[in-house]
Amino acid sequence: MKIRRSFTKAGRDAYASIKFTATSSEIRNPDGTIVFRLDDVQVPEGWSQVASDVIAQKYFRKAGVPARLKKVKEKGVPEFLWRSVADEVALADLPEEERYGGETRATQVFDRLAGAWAYWGWKGGYFSSKADARAYFDEMRYMLATQRGAPNSPQWFNTGLHWAYGIDGPSQGHHYVDYKTGKLTKSRSAYEHPQPHACFIQSCADDLVNSGGIMDLWVRESRLFKYGSGTGTNFSLLRAAGEHLSGGGKSSGLMG
């Protein structure tokens, strides 16, 4: 895939033409007490306060971001796309309370989103050359910073946490398509292959406890909600009110 630059120049920082400013973001209760406040939030100068609040309150990762990082070399991957992990040696020199924190700069979010997308694209063989991968990385960061493009919320929440910071956790039961085999594969971790899709319509079998049934729907919905997604359900397979039950009696039907 060839990528033509429209907003950035090769060899120049993607944010070179964008001015940034510091702002504050807070949430207050009706009685005026502060629920959330974050100062010195670095955002593009042209952003509204609403946009600044959304990224600060919703999309910044709030914990687990290492204050010191190191690159993980990976054969066949361009250096600018090497993922990062916590630099334990450098972190040991910091006071314990300063070693991990949250994101405070919009560029951190733009970098992890575009970086993860470019990394996955490179691994999947999408780009014709390193220059095309770099152009994609730079152009996408610029477009995010200037609000020319934006992904859905689960992308903002989850994408790039593993690539940019080495953040991970146990598998949450979601799946991804393996680019090597083309097969649906159960993810072995929480964030290496996150669940970044927004909206789902699920089915529900006329069964109480087995896979695909009513109780299983709760688990599947929770799995989606955890990553910030939304879901609706097609209940048309459930028996209607008055229909017979196998153990005797009649169904009460779908209850709202």
At residue 233 the predicted structure's pLDDT band, cuts being 50, 70 and 90, is very high
Per-residue pLDDT, averaged over 175-194, amounts to 92
Per-residue pLDDT, averaged over 162-190, amounts to 93
Per-residue pLDDT, averaged over 173-193, amounts to 92
DSSP-assigned letter for residue 81: G
What pLDDT score does 253 carry?
A: 82
Average pLDDT over the chain, rounded to whole?
95
pLDDT digits (tens, 9 = 90+) for 19-67: 999 999 999 999 999 999 999 999 999 999 999 999 999 999 999 999 9
The yes-or-no verdict on residue 256 having pLDDT over 70 is: no
The CA-atom distances, in angstroms, between 53 and each of 30, 32, 66, 77, 80 are 18, 17, 23, 35, 30
Query: Residue ranges of the domains in the chain?
Result: 20-165, 198-256
Q: How far apart are CA 217 and CA 234, in angstroms?
A: 11
Q: How far apart are CA 173 and CA 194, in angstroms?
A: 10
What pLDDT score does 226 carry?
A: 87
What pLDDT score does 121 carry?
A: 97
